[in-house]
Amino acid sequence: MPASHEVSARKSLRAPIGTRDVLWPESERWEALVAAFARRARLAGYGLLLTPVLEDAGLFRCAVGDESEVLRKEMYELTDRGGRTLALRPEGTAPVVRAFVQHRPPVPWKVWYVTPAFRYERPQAGRYRQHHQVGVEALGSDDPDLDVEVIALAAGFYVELGLVGVDLSLGSMGCSADRRAYVSALREHLAERREMLCDEHRERFELNPLRVLDCKRSQCVAVTADAPTISDFLDEPCATHLARVREGLDALGIAHRLDSRLVRGLDYYTRTTFEFSAVALDAAQNAVGGGGRYDKLSEAIGGPPTPGIGFGIGIERLLLACDAEGCFNAAPSAPDVFVVDTTGGAAARDLSAELRGAGLTALRAYDDRSIRAQLKLADRSRASYAAIVGPREIEDQTVTVRSLREGKQTTVRREELAEWLRRELLD
């Protein structure tokens, strides 16, 4: 017997705050979204990678940066029974690079993933504690054409879903030396105006001045309006890289805006960074995808020097953007046939298995319901046909097929049923 407090806990068990269940038919939209993404990724040579949801927490400390918001406030950490400190992945890139370092596959190594990500955020529309991403990562080349390929993959995906209002911002974080010089100039700018910063950044700006550029509070927005920009600090190779990426995007007709203040929330970026925002969503949660280069990440976690680039797209946000634009409705599919059995259930058992074996979606009722109840369920299922089997049909080796759209009824030989249905459904 469970203890009484366990019983009362059970009564009120719900999905944790900031997480949600995705039930059918909504889940069918997810299925269609992931299938479309997988197809697109495969066309460009990306293979599916699966990695554990749990990783050594140290991985994210090295990769994401101790001063990033994600790590400082949002990571779910736990100690397992063996005393190991593990984390629920807050994002998808570090685990991919960890898998690369562990397995050393030949480069270029191009992978795609679909994964939950966990961040202890303040839940609101479009911001969850467990969200889901589809994404790609490509390791082993710093060719700017790869940046273009990766950005084009995401841009084409939004178009495929029917979204029109998606803006692309492009930036560059430069190389380590550029970044150091820039961060130092920015720190100086902020230090001179320290008293004008918001409370949080007055105390913390020195640790990671880049965060201040991303602060939405009016004091910080005012202070950073005339702050130095990274574009003034890019060395020749980084500036050429950025120019070549822009040239490639132009060649492929991908509209973009250069944003020298683009700050991504994760600290591993070098050179190219980008973010896609949905015009139809509220500005605070309108990023429907983002990514960039992380040419030093492999080394940072103890691997060989290996450049890389990728992006992650938030599935929930993307669907919110689709809802706001009224696109990608992906109506739930209707079954092909509903088997109605008035002989006790054995015929429905056998015939539905047979039809499924022939590749048709076949549903049936259970618990020996009346023919009326079964036909009602068939109607409710939105199946195209009801395949009715009674004692007479068993005797004659036939099936009575009723079109649930037109109400017309006909008799089909049982061994010809699957073929007959396929032909009619095609018509």
Length of the chain, please?
427
The answer to whether residue 110 forms part of the interface with ligand HAM (CB under 6 A) is: no
The answer to whether residue 93 forms part of the interface with ligand HAM (CB under 6 A) is: yes
- Selected from 55, 91, 178, 393, the binder of ligand HAM by CB under 6 A is 91
User: Parallel, antiparallel, or unpaired for β 308-314 and 109-118?
Assistant: unpaired
Pick 28 or 214: Cβ nearer ligand HAM = 214
The answer to whether residue 298 forms part of the interface with ligand HAM (CB under 6 A) is: no
The answer to whether residue 127 forms part of the interface with ligand HAM (CB under 6 A) is: yes
Please choose, from the candidates 274, 267, 275, the residue with its C-alpha nearest in 3D space to the C-alpha of residue 296: 267
The answer to whether residue 289 forms part of the interface with ligand HAM (CB under 6 A) is: yes
- Selected from 133, 208, 374, 398, the binder of ligand HAM by CB under 6 A is 133
Query: Per DSSP, what are the bridge partners of residue 115?
Result: 133
Pick 118 or 233: Cβ nearer ligand HAM = 118
- Selected from 89, 201, 271, 317, the binder of ligand HAM by CB under 6 A is 317
Burial zone of 38 (CB within 10 Å; 0-12 exposed, 13-18 middle, 19+ buried): middle
The answer to whether residue 291 forms part of the interface with ligand HAM (CB under 6 A) is: yes
DSSP code for 386 = E
Please choose, from the candidates 312, 370, 303, the residue with its C-alpha nearest in 3D space to the C-alpha of residue 343: 370
Pick 171 or 383: Cβ nearer ligand HAM = 171
Query: Per DSSP, what are the bridge partners of residue 412?
Result: 399
The answer to whether residue 296 forms part of the interface with ligand HAM (CB under 6 A) is: no
Query: Per DSSP, what are the bridge partners of residue 133?
Result: 115, 314
Please choose, from the candidates 212, 231, 230, 232, the residue with its C-alpha nearest in 3D space to the C-alpha of residue 222: 212
Applying CB under 6 A, the span of 20-28, 132-140, 207-215, 224-232 interacting with ligand HAM comes to: 132-140
- Selected from 62, 312, 339, 352, the binder of ligand HAM by CB under 6 A is 312
- Selected from 144, 171, 248, 290, the binder of ligand HAM by CB under 6 A is 290
Pick 126 or 248: Cβ nearer ligand HAM = 126
Pick 71 or 351: Cβ nearer ligand HAM = 71
125, 20 contact by CB (below 8 A): no
Distance CA 309, CA 303 (A): 16
Applying CB under 6 A, the span of 119-127, 202-210, 335-343, 365-373 interacting with ligand HAM comes to: 119-127
Q: Mention every residue, 6+ apart, whose C-beta is less than 8 A from residue 209.
A: 183, 186, 187, 190
90, 124 contact by CB (below 8 A): no
- Residues near ligand HAM (CB under 6 A) are 91-93, 119, 121, 126-128, 131, 133, 135, 137, 265-266, 287-292, 310-314, 316-317
